[in-house]
Amino acid sequence: MIYKIADSHDAPVIHEVMIQAFLYDKAEPTTLAVPIETADQIALALEGGEKAIIAFDEEDGSPVATVRFALKETDGVDFHQLSVLPGKQGQGIGKALLRFMEAYAASCNRNTVTCKVRMNAPRQIRLYDSIGYSVLGEELEQKPDGTSVPVVALRKVLQLQPA
């Protein structure tokens, strides 16, 4: 994989990967529909300080996965929207992308990574558990449309390397 720290010009690529992953997830009966932002909304988020990483296939240079995240002011990183193209899922690409993001976070002196996962997405919860994320607890997350979604909060403590 080739990894790129994205900027706002990459928003259409991020959006397309998210859409493809979302359409695949939507086909699973246990997955709750997640509203997808527009490419313009993603670009604005990136211009506003959000970060994203795109993973590209080494052979053909096509984008295969993305993750969006925010560096917190203190010592952590919150990530969301880990998206892997359906034909590339199950190949370790999501795990590798998360490890790259964790290394980036550590290089920015952040020592914790957190995320929230829908409780009805056990496949994603297992993925995070398999690479060292621990469940902090369950909560209801309020969506902009006023609905509540049950989520599991997860955290991983990173081992920072001394300078």
What span, in angstroms and rounded, lies between the C-alpha atoms of 63 and 99? Answer: 17
Residue 32: its pLDDT value, please? 41
Residue 104: its pLDDT value, please? 94
CA dist list (Å): 147 to 13, 34, 35, 144, 152: 29, 12, 12, 7, 16
Cα dihedral 152, 29, 89, 111 in deg (nearest 10): -10
Unique residue bearing structure tokens 């970060």 = 51
Considering 20-29, 34-43, 87-96, the range whose residues carry the highest mean pLDDT is: 87-96
What span, in angstroms and rounded, lies between the C-alpha atoms of 124 and 24? Answer: 13
In a domain, 95, yes or no: yes
pLDDT category of residue 138 using cuts at 50, 70 and 90? very high
pLDDT over 50 at 33, yes or no: no
pLDDT category of residue 130 using cuts at 50, 70 and 90? very high
Domain at 106, CATH number: 3.40.630.30
In a domain, 119, yes or no: no
Residue-range definition of the domain harbouring residue 81: 2-112
Helix (H) or strand (E) holding 153: strand 148-157
In a domain, 43, yes or no: yes
Report, in this order, helix, strand and coil percent for the chain, each rounded to 5. 35, 35, 35
